[in-house]
Amino acid sequence: MQQAITILARSDWHQRRQQHEERCDRLLSGVAERRRLGQKHPVEDFLFNYYNLRPGELRTWHPGAGVALEDPDGEYRGRRFYRHHDGISSIDGEAFMDKRSSTLEWTRTLLGRTAQNPAQFGCFGMHEWAMVYHLPPGQTRHNYLPLRFEPERVAEVVEQVGLRCSHFDAFRFFTPDAEPLNALRPTRERQPELDQPACLHANMDLYKWTGKLVPLVDSDLLLDTFELARDIRELDMRASAYDLSEWGYEPVPVETPAGRADYVRRQRDFAERAAPLRQRLLELNDKMAAHGYPGPEV
């Protein structure tokens, strides 16, 4: 059965698009200028170097599946995964599923399992420490950032606190010496089994999976997941062994009991923020799997 389609008048969706662009400009203020000047940033660089979407792609507004636009001037004509007929533009869900069905299937499986898996709050952000374990400062992944401690002290903290990382895309950057210290052996194949809703990286990755489903997802959800990823990345780096004081970030000292308690409190807050965003993505996947969104009947 075909899903009902909401058709937005041109004035309505122009207003929504403008609001999206203004929100995006606020979120990205400073990014373009730093890029022009070649300046690094320990939090925001990650969002564009590790994840695939560029600032211009974030700023491009999409209504999402199930919404069509009165588009007499054909502003969305010819865009990938759109169809245009009789002055109406809408997402071509069939075309998207033809090209990206495996992405939809993987995302649905991963996010569904992640939501069901028990939340684990015992990692204390030590994955970033494991990425510099037994490395001299000049050989770290972010070699422009100084460390808060000498390498010997970093190693002591790793060994005292322990490593319990469940996320493959964090574990794969562990140093060779740190890998055998981890309590788990994450792999890509085991990701649905091991990803869990308290993991900072699993929650940051909601932005990645949302980006892979553009333009099926609406741009509000995309920016919601971007904001979440940005805020989580800040905690990720503040809890690391790096010194970010030059950028105005105070450490969350997970090398201390009080710092670890603070980290867990923040981690719980992010898990609560992530849960409804994950559910919105799952609902979209379920609808696509059940019905698809072929657009208005032509």
Cα-based angle 284, 287, 292 (whole degrees, multiple of 5): 110
Residue 40 has which token pair?
A: 């690094």
Q: Both tokens of residue 122?
A: 């015992």
As a whole number, the mean pLDDT across the chain is 93
How does residue 141 score in pLDDT terms, banded at 50, 70 and 90?
Answer: confident
Whole-number pLDDT of residue 294 = 52
| Mean pLDDT of all residues in 246-265 | 97
State how far Cα 108 lies from the chain centre: 15
Residue 3 is predicted with a pLDDT of: 60
For 2-6, 15-19, 36-40, 118-122, which range has the lowest pLDDT when averaged over its residues? 2-6
Six-digit token string for 15: 């207003």
**pLDDT of 48-75, one tens digit each?**
989 989 999 999 999 999 999 999 999 9
Instruction: Write down the pLDDT at residue 159.
Output: 98
User: What integer pLDDT is reported at residue 36 of this predicted model?
Assistant: 81
Residue 18 has pLDDT above 90, yes or no: yes
Per-residue pLDDT tens for 176-212? 999 999 999 999 999 999 999 999 999 999 999 999 9
Residue extents of the structural domains in the chain: 6-290
Residue 4 has a pLDDT of 72
Taking 70 as the threshold, does the pLDDT of residue 291 lie above it? Answer: no
Q: What are the backbone angles phi and psi of residue 114, rounded to the nearest 5°? A: -60, -45
Q: Which of 112, 51, 293, 96 is nearest to 213 (CA)?
A: 96
Give Cβ neighbours of residue 20 (< 8 Å, ≥ 6 apart): 59, 61, 219, 220, 223
Token pair listed for 119 = 């939340």
Confidence of residue 298 (pLDDT cuts 50, 70, 90): very low
pLDDT at 139 over 90: no
Q: Give per-residue burial for 9-41: e unless 16+ CB within 10 Å, then b.
A: eeeebeebbeebeeebeebbeebeeeeeeeeee
* 33 compared with 77, residue with greater pLDDT: 77
The secondary structure element, H or E, covering residue 85 is strand 82-85
Residue 234 has pLDDT above 90, yes or no: yes
Residue 293 has what pLDDT? 52
pLDDT at 29 over 90: no
Task: Provide the token pair at 285.
Answer: 């996947």
